[in-house]
Structure 1
Amino acid sequence: MKKQCIMFLVCAMAGILAAQEMEKQSSSELTVAESVLCENVEDRTPVGEATTFPETIGKVYFFTAIEGATQPTQIKHVWYYQGNQMADVSLTIQYPRHRTWSYKTILPEWTGEWSVEVIDENATVLKKASFVIGEKQTTEAESETEE
């Protein structure tokens, strides 16, 4: 009886460790195959791709195609305005290639630099995209290179 209990405990521990390792692998193997900042998403397709949007845009969408999930997992789109976190959107990834998106409502006075990050369950940043609300401010050096 004692041997059976020990064998049961060993098997249970091995199963728990294998499940934990599988969970780590599923998150760490995720990749962002496509990421697009856009004005809308229609029929699972980004519309109006851009990196600069007018103050009157209302909403900016972030479309991502995620690859590598071997089981359902979570990612986040984390939105930042001038370095301050503005939103944290959890998204479930269910398929080996999964298209998903989130959007951030933008008030007209929120002009300037924005970014959004794709973060997996292990808090690893898989992708970062930056955009501007309003006219992009150019430096003197940038102006000279455009001429």
Structure 2
Amino acid sequence: MNQRIIMLCVVGIVPSLLVTTTGAVEAVRTESGQELAGENHPASSGSVTTKTFTTAIVDGKPADDQKAFENSVSEIYFYTVLEGLKGQTVTHRWKYSGRVISNADISVTDDPFSTWSSNGMESNWTGFWTVEVLDKNSKVIGVDTFEYNHPRNLQMDPDANKAGADSDGIPSGGWGWGRGRGWGW
């Protein structure tokens, strides 16, 4: 009986995975840093057409539109309208001082799709917060920033003081969580 051994060698291109601390794949790249495209890592064709921070959601819509909140507000909502993302799971990633505080994974079931997430807040988590919208490939397709501060310190300048965080950038004390909801229209 004849046996054949076939060896395949790929020279010059070895893909590597960049992994976040939560284990999600952010990109597939070659050793030279070139991002791989195609079936395994397609570009997102969707977009975020509306981004709003609010103190409440009423009948599926933001109650108000704010960029600055007094630190007495106990929960902040991030409302988005997504287009071209039906069938995907998108993530609202809440960040404070460069650290991920919570992720809200949202299944997009229609196009366009109205959705929101919220984050419980503690009064000492003052400063500037960022919420990123990530597609199924963990690509940022939308981002917005709000200020959470004592009324006398509200300044809406993201490069201003970074008060309210421990030396490692994590909010001092308290708790954080995120959740998401949505529907198409």
Deviation at 1:43, TM superposition (A): 0.8
- Alignment correspondent of 1:92: 107
Task: Write the mapping of 1:67-146 to structure 2, written as runs, cut at 5 A.
Answer: 67-69=83-85, 71-134=86-149, 135-137=153-155
Mapped partners of 1:94, 1:109: distance in 2: 37
In the TM superposition, structure 1's runs of 4+ consecutive aligned residues that sit over 2 Å from their partners are: 20-25, 135-139
1:67 Cα offset (Å): 0.5
DSSP-derived class of the 2:154 partner: coil
Tell me which amino acid in the other structure corresponds to 1:136.
L
Give the whole-Å Cα distance in 1 for the aligned partners of 2:88 and 2:126: 34
In 1, distance between residues paired with 2:115 and 2:141?
14
TM-score normalised according to structure 1 size: 0.73
Task: For residue 48 of structure 1, report the CA deviation from its aligned partner.
Answer: 2.0
Task: Return the offset for 1:96.
Answer: 1.4
Deviations 1:34-71 (A, max 9, x none): 110111111111112111101110011000000013x4
**Gap regions ≥5 residues in structure 1:** 1-19, 140-147
Aligned residues: 117
Map of 1:4-83 to 2, 5 A cutoff?
21=39, 24=42, 28-69=44-85, 71-83=86-98
Alpha-carbon offset, residue 24 of structure 1: 3.7
Scaled by the length of structure 2, what TM-score is found?
0.59
Distance 2:82 2:130 in 1: 19
- For structure 2, the 5+ residue unaligned runs are 1-37, 158-185
Say if 2:68 and 2:156, in contact at 8 Å, map to a contact too.
no
* CA drift at 1:22: 10
Q: Secondary structure at the match of 1:110?
A: coil
Relative to total residues, which structure has the larger helix share, 1 or 2?
1
Amino acid at match of 2:72: T
Over 3 Å counting, the alpha-carbon distance change for 1:49 and 1:29 in structure 2 is: same
